[in-house]
Amino acid sequence: TQLLEQSPQFLSIQEGENLTVYCNSSSVFSSLQWYRQEPGEGPVLLVTVVTGGEVKKLKRLTFQFGDARKDSSLHITAAQPGDTGLYLCAGVATSGTYKYIFGTGTRLKVLA
Amino acid sequence: DTGVSQDPRHKITKRGQNVTFRCDPISEHNRLYWYRQTLGQGPEFLTYFQNEAQLEKSRLLSDRFSAERPKGSFSTLEIQRTEQGDSAMYLCASSSWDRGPAGANVLTFGAGSRLTVL
């Protein structure tokens, strides 16, 4: 059972457009992470959000952790072709372990 | 430090054969993870170690899969009697221990070992 559902699954947009990716769960997470993965490589961490309601900005990327710590969103402003990749949310749902569960993934393609 | 290394990068095998993948984590990292990923999907948890102890193993794993980390450094993942459904990318990641909340450690991934079972 996949605990973290991402939407949309695929997204193809033109350069300069804005987009939002969602990560939802019925479970409470102590923190959530966002990773980006490019073809042939492993995922690379973008950000960790820890506090419910927290908002973090990384240049054109804005990450938000839901108040109830069950969901998160990633917003990209003025997308660029270099943003193309597979975006993954991840977290530890079970206390007392360090078992990271990954979301279903959102594949983003930004067209020039 | 050269990051997390995985070997081989690609493996093509015939159904029924055994395969073994190796992962060398970042040297000071005490946690090591194995994931399986199919095209366009998120990584699926297989197992993780803290030092040499295997602390959790996915119920999705059949008896054909086994992982070891004998000295708390490198790890191996063996798949016996491979099936076509085993074809996937096998990812290894490592992380260090710190006092932060669970889920706040950085997972550093290797580039993966791609398995194709014919």
A61-65 and A55-58 beta bridge pairing: antiparallel
> How far apart (Å, rounded) are the C-alpha atoms in residues B93 and B101?
18
Torsion of CA B98, B102, B103, B105, to 10 degrees: 0
Which residues are B31's β-sheet partners?
A: B50, B95
Q: How many CA atoms lie within 13 A of A37 on its CB side?
A: 31
Q: Is the pLDDT of residue B61 over 80?
A: no
At B101, the pLDDT band (50, 70, 90 cuts) reads low
Cβ neighbors of B28 (< 8 A, separation 6 or more) are: B96
- Give kind and range of the element (H or E) at residue B77: strand B75-79
Q: What is the mean pLDDT of residues B25-38?
A: 94
Q: Is the pLDDT of residue B43 over 60?
A: yes
> How far apart (Å, rounded) are the C-alpha atoms in residues B70 and A6?
36
Contacts of B31 in chain A (CB under 8 A): 98
Q: What's the pLDDT score for residue A59?
A: 95
Kindly report, residue by residue over A40-85, the tens digit of the pLDDT. 899 999 999 988 999 999 999 999 999 999 999 999 999 999 999 9
At A99, the pLDDT band (50, 70, 90 cuts) reads confident
CB of A43 less than 8 A from some CB of B: yes
Contact call for B42 and A2, based on CB within 8 A: yes
Contact call for B45 and A43, based on CB within 8 A: no
How far does the CA of residue B102 sit from the closest CA of chain A (Å)? 6
Burial of A103 per CB tally in 10 Å (0-12, 13-18, 19+):
buried
CB of A104 less than 8 A from some CB of B: yes
As given in the structure block, the two tokens for residue A32 are 């959530």
